[in-house]
Amino acid sequence: MASVTYKNVFKKFGDLMIIKDLNIAVEDKEFLVLVGPSGCGKTTALRLLAGLEEITDGQIVIGDRVVNDVAPKDRDIAMVFQSYALYPHLSVYDNMAFGLKLRKTPKEEIKRRVNDAAEILGITDLLLRKPRQLSGGQRQRVAVGRAIVREPKVFLFDEPLSNLDAKLRVQMRAEISKLHQRLQTTFIYVTHDQTEAMTMATRIAVINKGKLLQLDTPQNLYDYPNSLFVAGFIGSPAMNFFPAKLVKEGDKMMVDTGDFKVAIPEKHVAPYKSMDGKSVIFGIRPENIHDPEFAPQNILAEKITSKVDVTELMGNETLLYLVSGKNTFVGRVDPRSKLRVSDVSQMIFDMDKFHIFDAETENAIR
């Protein structure tokens, strides 16, 4: 088993800087997810670790060994790619055994490893089939099995579920999480899907434009985003943002969006007391906006006059797309809500769950 460390890692392609001073310490047996929008550098970071790209500056350490100049085959890692990359003319067994045969592993050892991996993944009855006879989910399991038989120190996954349909993605997320628990080794997983990141990771590294923005547990990222980007990227639907000013009115500090004002509760006001007149961005998640008829008891409620623009009835919840003056926002409300298009209501903001960001730096103020 092994830890992985990125130390001041930079990567340039020509004059274009893709990775900028990346510092991440991945603990032994951890499930770390690198998440960010397309083109942010997360796959490049994974390929640098695998040895498929050369770093421009810095160090990558696996265990206690610097691997900058170590060939990919000698890094003791296994990578599962976005494409299954299976040999169409070989059986599932031979696809999984191919790498071991190249390494001249004894036949009995190959047989043991392939059968063990097939049992873990539930594909024992598929070993004699060819890839064309498999579904997308089965092909993905074979690709994972090909990595498992290597018995590496570190598993690398590059968006392995993006080619699957929605239902199968949910199923395979659970399978990969169970696999991590069973194998007890280090997993590093790249995705642009924040739902995958939130449901699978021990910790999440949020990357944008080649920079690490925040590294934390899924719950801490959700509850305490350190920047506007992280707040908007983690959570679905995304957090609502309102350009605003902090305004002192008597003994209260208000958030004034121009169309509505909300009071910052006394227990949360300390960081903002000296910021009268400061331009900020006020944030609140859709799940903290409630239909007044079904608002939870004992929350710190502020009422916002809002008109319903669009409704999405999801069965277990209802999404309301709301308008208040020039501001549009989304509420995730109780499915029993009777609010429909064009209705006007006093929507409830739970002010125990608000976020405020500096309008210039976009950093969280708390």
| Listed residue (322, 327, 317) closest to 347, CA to CA | 322
Among 199, 233, 267, the domain-final residue is 233
Residue 153 lies in a domain: yes
pLDDT at position 199 is 93
Q: Answer yes or no: do 255 and 146 share one domain.
A: no
CA 240 – CA 327 distance, rounded (Å): 10
Residue 116 lies in a domain: yes
Block residue for tokens 């409830």: 348
Angle at 194 between CA 193 and CA 199, to 5 degrees: 110
pLDDT digits (tens, 9 = 90+) for 26-37: 999 999 999 999
Residue 293 lies in a domain: yes
Helix extents (H) in the chain = 42-50, 92-102, 107-121, 136-148, 166-183, 194-200, 218-223, 228-233
CA 191 – CA 199 distance, rounded (Å): 12
pLDDT at 213 over 70: yes
pLDDT digits (tens, 9 = 90+) for 118-143: 988 889 999 999 999 998 888 988 99
Confidence of residue 1 (pLDDT cuts 50, 70, 90): low
**Choice among 59-68, 161-170, 183-192, 217-226 with the minimum mean pLDDT:** 161-170
Phi and psi, residue 151, nearest 5°: 50, 55
Q: Answer yes or no: do 184 and 287 share one domain.
A: no
Among 233, 258, 286, the domain-final residue is 233
Tokens of 347: 């929507």
Torsion of CA 6, 12, 16, 19, to 10 degrees: -10
Q: Answer yes or no: do 308 and 229 share one domain.
A: no
SS3 115: helix
Q: Answer yes or no: do 187 and 262 share one domain.
A: no
Against a cut of 0.85, is the pTM above it? yes
Q: What proportion of the chain, given as a percentage, has pLDDT over 70?
A: 100
Q: What is the DSSP string of 45-90?
A: HHHHHHTSS--SEEEEEETTEE-TTS-GGGS-EEEE-SS----TTS
Q: Answer yes or no: do 206 and 278 share one domain.
A: no
* Cis before 131 (ω within 30): no
CA 261 – CA 286 distance, rounded (Å): 18
Q: Answer yes or no: do 162 and 201 share one domain.
A: yes
CA 74 – CA 82 distance, rounded (Å): 22
Contact 140/164 with Cβ under 8 angstroms? yes
Q: Answer yes or no: do 256 and 198 share one domain.
A: no
Mean pLDDT of all residues belonging to the chain: 93
Residue 286 lies in a domain: yes
Among 208, 233, 258, the domain-final residue is 233
Residue 212 lies in a domain: yes
- Tell me which residue range forms the domain holding 196: 4-233
Residue 91 lies in a domain: yes
Is pLDDT larger for residue 114 or for residue 81? 114
List Cβ neighbours of 133 (8 Å cut-off, separation of 6 or more). Answer: none
Domain count, the chain: 2
The predicted model gives 8-26 an average pLDDT of 95
> The domain that contains 119 carries what CATH number?
3.40.50.300
Tokens of 117: 């991996």
Block residue for tokens 């434009």: 209
Residue 364 lies in a domain: no
Q: Answer yes or no: do 39 and 67 share one domain.
A: yes
Contact 213/295 with Cβ under 8 angstroms? no
Q: Answer yes or no: do 249 and 201 share one domain.
A: no
Q: What proportion of the chain, given as a percentage, has pLDDT over 90?
A: 81
Q: Answer yes or no: do 184 and 248 share one domain.
A: no
DSSP code, position 362: -
CB-side exposure of 163: number of CA atoms within 13 Å? 16
Residue 156 lies in a domain: yes
Contact 230/213 with Cβ under 8 angstroms? yes
Contact 334/344 with Cβ under 8 angstroms? no
Residue type, 234: I
Contact 160/80 with Cβ under 8 angstroms? yes
> The domain that contains 281 carries what CATH number?
2.40.50.140
pLDDT digits (tens, 9 = 90+) for 317-357: 999 999 999 999 999 999 999 999 999 999 999 999 999 99
CA 145 – CA 129 distance, rounded (Å): 15
Q: Answer yes or no: do 14 and 141 share one domain.
A: yes
DSSP code, position 149: T
Measured N-to-C along each axis, helices 166-183 and 136-148 cross at an angle, to the nearest 10 degrees, of 20
Q: Answer yes or no: do 110 and 203 share one domain.
A: yes
